[in-house]
Structure formats: C-alpha cells, structure tokens
C-alpha cells in the first residue's frame, strides 16, 4: 500500500450524548497517554525475562510476587499489599519422556508435557498399546474390552471452522480435562492428548486436568500436534504400535503464596471497589506472557495512567495480580472470601485473560439491567474499535466475586486468532506480543475503569 | 486462561431480516469452507519463497506473473488471462551504503534503502553536513542559508497516539514522498528520512517518492528507526557530524508486464463485473507478503471458494492481481481504461491492501445511497466480527475504476497495529502472517462478493 490515507476523524462524535462529551475527552487522554507512555510492555518484558514462568508454589512464582509488588509501587499506587493465599504445589519433576514404538521395536521420541495435576508413571515408565479416540462417544463404544491395559490417545483436533478460537478450545478441551478419568473408567493405564491449538508444530501444550475421585488416577500428558499427526498415521499402518511414557510429576503439600494488590483510593466513595487485572501464575514453560502476564501488566497500567493523568476516581480502583488461576483459582477465591468477610462493596471487576491481541469488546457477566447500562457507554468506545458487548464471560479469577458478592464482571475480549498458537506452551514468550496491541487492551480497561469509578453501575 | 468458555451461539440471528436468513446460511458455508480448506496461505508461501519480492519490471515480477497465472488456473476459474501493462522500471543497483561520520572522522555504517524513484548519488557518493528537520514548517524556517549544500534528515516519528496506524503513516509519509523536492527547494544535496514504522529496529523501510519536476532531483533514502535515533543523538552532541550516502539506483525504460485476471462468468448478468484482489508487485526487499501478496491470494481464494461450494454468481466475478501499485499504478489504470474502452459494466470492486491481519470492516468509497444499501448487509457480517463500514477508502488499484466508470469501491479494513512493523521492509515475510487471520480476510471478501453477485448495488 503506497497511498497516504486519511482515515482520521471518523466516528469522532457519532452517537454520543451531551453528557458523554466530557467522558469522550477523558477517553482521548487515556488512549494517548497509554499509546505513547505506557510501561506495560516494559514491565511484561521484565516479568518474562527476569522472572520467567511461575507456576503456583514454584520459585518463579515467589520471585514474581516480589517483582510485582515492586512494579505496583513504581506505578504510583496509593497502597500496595500482599494477600496471603495457600496454593496447590504440583511439580513436573525431571523432563518427561515419550516414544512411539512400532511393531519392529523402532522407537521415535516425541515432545511431551505432563498435564497439570497428573500423577507420575511408575519409575520405569509405562509401555502399552495405544488406542486412538476422537471423542467420549467413541470411547464408550470401544468399552473396556478394547481399552483395558492400553494408553488412550485423545486425538480431537481443533475445529477450525469457528471464527472464535475459544469455541474450538471449548470443544477439544474436555478431552484434556476429563479424558484421563473417562479413560480410566474402562481400564486405560494412561492417556495422551493432542495439544489444544490451531497450529501444526512441535510444542506440546499443557494445562490443568481434573480427576474424578471415584476412578483410578492414571498419568496423562499432552503431545504436540505434529506428534499427534505422526502417531495417528503410524497407527493406521501399524495397529500394534506401542507408546512409552515416563513422568515423575507429583503434588506436594500446599504452600503459602500471595495475591498482589495496588489501590488508588476513591475520593467520594472510597468503600466501593473496582478490581482490574489478571493472574500472576502461569504454566511452567515459556514466559506465560500471553497467559497471563499481559493481564497483570495491563491491570497495573490502569493505576499508572490514572496517576499520570491526575484522574481522581470517585470510587477506589484496585489492580490485582491473582495467584493460582491455572490449577486451583485459590487467589480468586481468597480475594472474594476476604471481601465477604470484611463486608466490602465490590461494584465491578475487570479481568484480562485471553491474551494480548487487539481488544474489540468486553464480555458482560451481570444482570440484564447492568448490561444495558454498560451498553449505553458503547458509543464512547467505538472510535477505539472496541464495539462488542455481547459475550457473557467475565473471568476465572473474578468469578468468586460474583458468586459471593454478586459483583458484575467484565472480561476483556481480544482477537483470538493467535492465542492458542502459544497457549500453555514453551512458545508463549514475550516475543509473541505486539506492544501496541497489549497497550490497547490496557487503554480499554482504563477507560472502562474510569466510567465505573465515576458512575458506578 | 484455564476455563473452557462457551462463547458459541452469540449474534447468531440478531438483526437479520427474513430475506437475509438464506444469505446467512451461505455466509456460514463460506466461512467454514475457507477456515478449514483455504489454499490462500499455501499460495502465499509459494509466492513468498519461490517467487520472492517482485518490483515492477524485475525478474521477480515476471516470475510472479507466471506463478499467479498458474495459481489462478488451479483455483478453477472459468477463464484466466493476462492483460498487458507497460510499467516503470526503477532498479536499486548495487547495495547502498550510508555512514554517520562524526567530527573526529569516526565512521559508523547504518542500514539504508534508496526510496523508490530516487536518482543515484555521484559514483563516489555524497558526503555532507546533516541538518535534522521535524517537519516542512521547520524546513521553511531554516531556509536556504541553513540548508544549502547539506543533507536534510527528516526525522518525523510515527505519532503513536493514533489507534489506527494509517493515521500516523499519513502524517509522517509526506516527508518520504515530498521531502526530497521540498529540501531541494532550499539547496539540499540529498535527503534521508526516518522509516515509517512504529517499531524501533534496524530495518529501513523504503517506498515511493515523487519529484517536483520544477526542482532539482536529489538522491533520497530511508534509514531505520534505530539509525535515526542514533543520528539524532549524535547530532545533538556533535553538530558537525556528516553523513555519507552512496546509491546507484536508476530509472530504465518502461517494460511490458501484466495484470493477471481470473473470471467466473455470472449466470444471469454475465456482463456485470465485480473485481476482487490486490497488487502483485511489491518493493524489492523481503517477500512482499503483507504488502500485498496477501491481497492477491485472498482474491483468488474468492474464486476457489465459489467453485468449491458450487455457488453460482448471477454476476461475473473477477480475481485481479494488479501490477505496479507501488510505483505507478499502471495496472490499475490499464484495467480501468480497458474496461472503459470495452464499455464494460463494473458494478463493484473490492481491494485488500492493508495487510493480512484480522479483518473488521470495509471502507466504502461510493455514493451515500450505495453506502446505505451496503450498511443494510452489516448484520450478516457481525457474527464474523466484521462490523465497521464507516471508513471511506477503497483501494489504490481500483480507484481508476471509480474515476473512469464510477464503480463503487470496497477496501478491506484489517487490524492495523502490526502492518507498519513490516511495511516496505525486508521484514515483510510470510512468517509475519497468521494463516487464520489471512483466511478471515478472504472469507469477508468472498461473503461481500457473494452479496454483490446476487443483488448488485
């Protein structure tokens, strides 16, 4: 494209009420401040490089708490504190091993990651026949006679036909979460599952699974999409193929960790709280940059921006870095339970936990009346390309606030095309994040926090 | 993000008229077909790897015409042909050289690219004092006494405060296009300009410039943003710094080239045409993947999808790969002039030339009545996250159709955050393109072409 386009000035005042014009001026200041001066990307780089991944209970998570506390202070918050949270402590142990062994005993190593919460294999590993399964219906049909003693290979590819990749994740994800117990029901000795991603590459994508306590707990792991395709191909030609899996992950005693919280106190209604942020923990590979370092640095960027612009919120705004979203949501639970205990009035919560791509809306998990009020604000956001208020998901860390206090929830909605390329994999690094896209998310959150702080809900 | 979200089923039928329900079914088929089976990305990879960059008149452009003709045939078009176009033939010559030379004669090489159409320096290069200028007002104020005999350094950074990066390009781009002649007006011997990009890196970004024929033609080049920052810093400490520039680019005689055209003939109104596509030429660095291999493969994906789904358009649809957008727009001009000569009825044209990121709308360059009719179709697009019909730019290659035939123009609007990171630079490679984002653009174009083919405008 050669032409110098004039795309300026569109939407400038379309659909705004008179009362919204002054908010429109504030929006403009917020977006300019963030697009030009935001620190979120620099903070995320530090969180990615100097801290790295940070699974709950790990040394990385401990380091992350300290760094985040410092970052929150640097942002100029009125108060910064740590909130104690007991978190589960699952460790991967030594690097896992996996091999495809054909009927001639040729072994081919494939990249593998134990699923979070999995039990270990016996020390010498498990070698067993493999049976490929597309879904639970097929698993049931095969039954114990075909499954007993085998490794079940859940090969349920992402359904590419959905525009929103979360829809594909929703369909495939249950084989990661519930697949191991369902396979154990028919006597399987382990499960491997195809990674939850659109891309064909060599990265296994881990993630939490949940055992059904009434069934035997069997080891479970993810293999990359390339390895899944390879295994499926080999199985078709050689049904006697075996799989070797060795993992020594384990769940240790719970340990003390923290949510990190920064607050600007409201000028008129200091006892009404708006929480914004994401989760500080990540899986134990890569940088946890999209998931969810992004949400953490966007949350604190809200505070920095209020201070930089000398915006005085009528209600108190808290940036929160919740601990342990990935395998327990203990941070979110403690945050809400503590608020309940203290009878705090949490009037809204905003979470960013869908990656750092360009934002285009907010999911609204709240009453119809509240949703309609928020939709009246939509024209203020349109010129910033934030237009969609039709989804209804808030966020995992803020759900307990709704459950215990009835707090209305906002989930930042961003372009989903690239998210699962990196999600829960070693490839989720800060290199995969575009600075401006990250900052646009922070700006949308700041703008929404501003309206909530002025008008409540 | 751990949770399995259910974001399905939103917008499904919101705002559709009864008559639109059958179109909605076709839209669903188009999106599924393209997201699952599109060939656009594979074609783009071939165009990027096997052909590479393809500036008008170059061997790469010749190869690109042949490959594109084959690709268009493979897509199953009813007819494929080449349309002769005489194109300018500017060549870069040997690799350019540039150095910052401080007052102690320490020389530091910096990456540089001549601007398209620039004249060469003398064989031995030019060494001269440098004067940094932010804008034309400052240039005028400095005047001949400060500029004569010097190299003018246009250091006008992208204005980060705009959400739409094309707005920043619009502001900074004039120093690339018109800067050389404006500097020559005051006796400058050459110009260098800061690359037109948001990122700080070592890639110079080239692009077309235009000489004012009444002023001396001086050599002009782009330096990377890192080099621009360095030079600016050095100049502040050491105003006696000089710059060395050596380039032997030249404009040769125009040569014969081609637009590549593929057609599906309409069943009811075969004499009414809808053109879709992008430009086949690129700058002579990188792959020209975002600019504009993407538009070319998206255009032919429209044809492939109509054939794969056995959709029979009432009006004729043409995929067009226009030649020479970057430095002459001769392909676009010939295409329109030929249509005028043959009295063809071009009822609409759709161009994709803003990169391969996720689409979110169409620019509508047409009458108010036509625009309103298109906006009635908007609800069909919303569930596919294509929502914005407020911009008014169509596309450079299709502008002559509007000029000569009054054809209404559609420009695919995509997320602009990453486009200028790679634009006109060696970094514009196919690696920077996400397959699904590219395919979503093709799907939006196919859906719009479908409506136009059924209903006209």
Here the ipTM equals 0.95
B259 and B150, same domain (yes or no): no
Asked if A111 contacts A227 with a C-beta cutoff of 8 angstroms, the reply is: yes
Reading the block at residue A298, the tokens are 């966007």
B41-65: pLDDT as tens digits: 999 999 999 999 999 999 999 999 9
| Interchain contact A99–B (C-beta under 8 A) | no
Which pLDDT belongs to residue B297?
A: 98
User: B8 pLDDT exceeds 50?
Assistant: no
Residue of B nearest to A281 (CA): B1
B248-288: pLDDT as tens digits: 999 999 999 999 999 999 999 999 999 999 999 999 999 99
Backbone angles phi, psi at A211, to 5 degrees: -80, 145
Annotation says B84 is catalytic? no
DSSP state string for B197-253: -SS-SS-----B----TTS----EEEE-HHHHHHHHHHHHH-TT-EEEEE---EEEE
Residue A372 lies in a domain: yes
Mean pLDDT for chain B? 96
Nearest to A99 by CA among A84, A113, A109, A85: A109
A173 CB neighbours in chain B (<8 A) are: 4
| Portion of chain B with pLDDT greater than 70, in percent | 97
Asked if B54 contacts B281 with a C-beta cutoff of 8 angstroms, the reply is: yes
Reading the block at residue B228, the tokens are 């621009």
Q: Decide if A164 and B3 are in contact by the 8 Å CB cutoff.
A: no
Residue B102 lies in a domain: yes
Residue that finishes a domain, picked among A193, A223, A248? A248
Residue B436 lies in a domain: yes
Which pLDDT belongs to residue B17?
A: 81
Residue of A nearest to B418 (CA): A434
Q: What is the CATH number of the domain that holds B426?
A: 3.40.630.10
| Portion of chain B with pLDDT greater than 90, in percent | 95
pTM for the full model? Answer: 0.96
B238 and B373, same domain (yes or no): no
d(Cα A391, Cα A395) in Å, to the nearest integer?
12
Which pLDDT belongs to residue A14?
A: 63
Which domain, by its residues, includes A121? 93-248
Q: Given A69, A325, A326, A399, which residue is catalytic?
A: A325
Which pLDDT belongs to residue B339?
A: 98
Q: Decide if B327 and A5 are in contact by the 8 Å CB cutoff.
A: no
How many contiguous H segments (helices) and E segments (strands) does chain A have? 14, 15
Residue B13 lies in a domain: no
| Interchain contact A42–B (C-beta under 8 A) | no
Asked if A190 contacts A121 with a C-beta cutoff of 8 angstroms, the reply is: yes
User: B366 pLDDT exceeds 50?
Assistant: yes
Q: Which of A6, A7, A33 to mutate to test the interface with B (most CBs of B within 10 A)?
A: A7
A102 and A150, same domain (yes or no): yes
Asked if A168 contacts A160 with a C-beta cutoff of 8 angstroms, the reply is: yes
A160 and A69, same domain (yes or no): no
Residue B237 lies in a domain: yes
B435 CB neighbours in chain A (<8 A) are: 198
Q: How far is B352 from chain A (nearest CA, A)?
A: 9
Which pLDDT belongs to residue B13?
A: 52
Asked if A281 contacts A291 with a C-beta cutoff of 8 angstroms, the reply is: no
Residue that finishes a domain, picked among A198, A233, A248? A248
Q: Decide if A174 and B4 are in contact by the 8 Å CB cutoff.
A: yes
B297 and B344, same domain (yes or no): yes
3-state secondary structure of A176: helix
A41 and A161, same domain (yes or no): no
Nearest to B356 by CA among B286, B280, B296: B296
d(Cα B18, Cα B15) in Å, to the nearest integer?
10
Which pLDDT belongs to residue A20?
A: 87
Which pLDDT belongs to residue B1?
A: 56
d(Cα A274, Cα B156) in Å, to the nearest integer?
40
A198 CB neighbours in chain B (<8 A) are: 435-436
| Interchain contact A403–B (C-beta under 8 A) | no
Q: Decide if A162 and B35 are in contact by the 8 Å CB cutoff.
A: yes
Q: Which 8-state DSSP code applies to residue B432?
A: G
A405 and A384, same domain (yes or no): yes
B429 and B312, same domain (yes or no): yes
| Interchain contact B385–A (C-beta under 8 A) | yes
Radius of gyration of chain A (CA): 23
Query: Mean pLDDT over residues B135-157, rounded?
Result: 98
Q: What is the CATH number of the domain that holds A218?
A: 3.50.30.30
A227-284: pLDDT as tens digits: 999 999 999 999 899 999 999 999 999 999 999 999 999 999 999 999 999 999 999 9
Q: Which 8-state DSSP code applies to residue A50?
A: I
Instruction: For A92-125, list the strands marked E by DSSP.
Output: 97-101, 107-109, 112-114
Q: How many beta carbons lie within 10 A of that of residue B373, not counting itself?
A: 17
User: B12 pLDDT exceeds 90?
Assistant: no
| Interchain contact A369–B (C-beta under 8 A) | no
A436 CB neighbours in chain B (<8 A) are: 160, 165, 198, 417
Which pLDDT belongs to residue A10?
A: 46
The number of folded domains in chain A is 2
Residue A15 lies in a domain: no
B387-423: pLDDT as tens digits: 999 999 999 999 999 999 999 999 999 999 999 999 9
Which A-chain residues 321-340 have CB contacts (< 8 A) with chain B?
325-327, 329
The interaxial angle of helices A20-37 and A294-308, nearest 10 deg, is 120
Residue that finishes a domain, picked among A248, A274, A303? A248
| Interchain contact B388–A (C-beta under 8 A) | yes
Residue B235 lies in a domain: yes
pLDDT < 70 stretches in chain A: 1-14
B234 and B286, same domain (yes or no): no
B178 and B130, same domain (yes or no): yes
B216 and B268, same domain (yes or no): no
Which pLDDT belongs to residue B19?
A: 77
Residue B426 lies in a domain: yes
B280 and B407, same domain (yes or no): yes
Q: Given B33, B272, B325, B351, which residue is catalytic?
A: B325
């Amino acid at each position: 494209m050669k032409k110098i386009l004039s795309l300026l000035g569109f939407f400038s005042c379309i659909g705004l009420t008179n009362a919204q014009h002054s908010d429109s001026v504030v929006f403009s200041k917020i977006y300019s401040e963030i697009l030009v001066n935001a620190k979120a990307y620099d903070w995320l780089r530090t969180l990615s490089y100097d801290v790295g991944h940070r699974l709950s209970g790990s040394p990385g998570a401990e380091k992350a708490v300290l760094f985040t506390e410092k970052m929150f202070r640097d942002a100029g918050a009125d108060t910064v504190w740590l909130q104690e949270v007991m978190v589960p402590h699952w460790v991967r142990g030594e690097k896992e091993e996996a091999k495809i062994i054909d009927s001639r005993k040729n072994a081919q190593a494939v990249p593998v990651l134990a699923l979070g919460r999995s039990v270990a294999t016996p020390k010498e590993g498990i070698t067993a026949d493999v049976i490929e399964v597309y879904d639970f219906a097929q698993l049931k049909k095969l039954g114990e006679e075909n499954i007993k003693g085998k490794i079940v290979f859940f090969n349920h590819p992402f359904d590419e036909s959905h525009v929103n990749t979360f829809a594909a994740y929703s369909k495939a994800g249950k084989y990661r979460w519930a697949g191991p117990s369902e396979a154990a029901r028919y006597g399987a000795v382990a499960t491997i599952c195809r990674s939850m991603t659109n891309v064909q590459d060599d990265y296994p994508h881990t993630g939490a699974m949940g055992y059904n306590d009434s069934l035997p707990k069997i080891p479970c792991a993810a293999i990359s999409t390339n390895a899944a395709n390879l295994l499926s191909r080999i199985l078709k030609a050689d049904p006697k193929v075996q799989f070797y899996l060795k993992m020594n992950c384990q769940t240790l005693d719970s340990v003390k960790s923290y949510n990190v919280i920064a607050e600007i106190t409201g000028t008129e209604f200091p006892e009404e709280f708006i929480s914004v942020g994401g989760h500080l923990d990540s899986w134990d590979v890569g940088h946890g940059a999209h998931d969810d370092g992004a949400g953490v640095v966007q949350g604190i960027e809200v505070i920095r921006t209020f201070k930089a612009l000398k915006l005085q919120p009528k209600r108190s705004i808290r940036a929160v870095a919740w601990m342990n979203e990935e395998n327990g949501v203990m941070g979110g639970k403690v945050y809400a339970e503590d608020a309940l205990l203290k009878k705090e009035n949490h009037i809204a919560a905003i979470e960013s936990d869908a990656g750092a791509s360009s934002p285009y809306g907010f999911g609204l998990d709240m009453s119809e009346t509240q949703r309609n009020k928020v939709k009246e604000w939509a024209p203020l956001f349109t010129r910033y390309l934030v237009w969609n208020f039709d989804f209804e998901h808030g966020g995992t860390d803020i759900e307990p606030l709704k459950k215990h206090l009835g707090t209305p929830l906002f989930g930042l909605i961003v372009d989903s095309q690239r998210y699962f390329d990196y999600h829960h994999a070693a490839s989720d690094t800060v290199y995969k994040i575009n600075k401006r896209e990250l900052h646009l998310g922070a700006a949308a959150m700041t703008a929404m926090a501003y309206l909530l702080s002025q008008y409540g809900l």
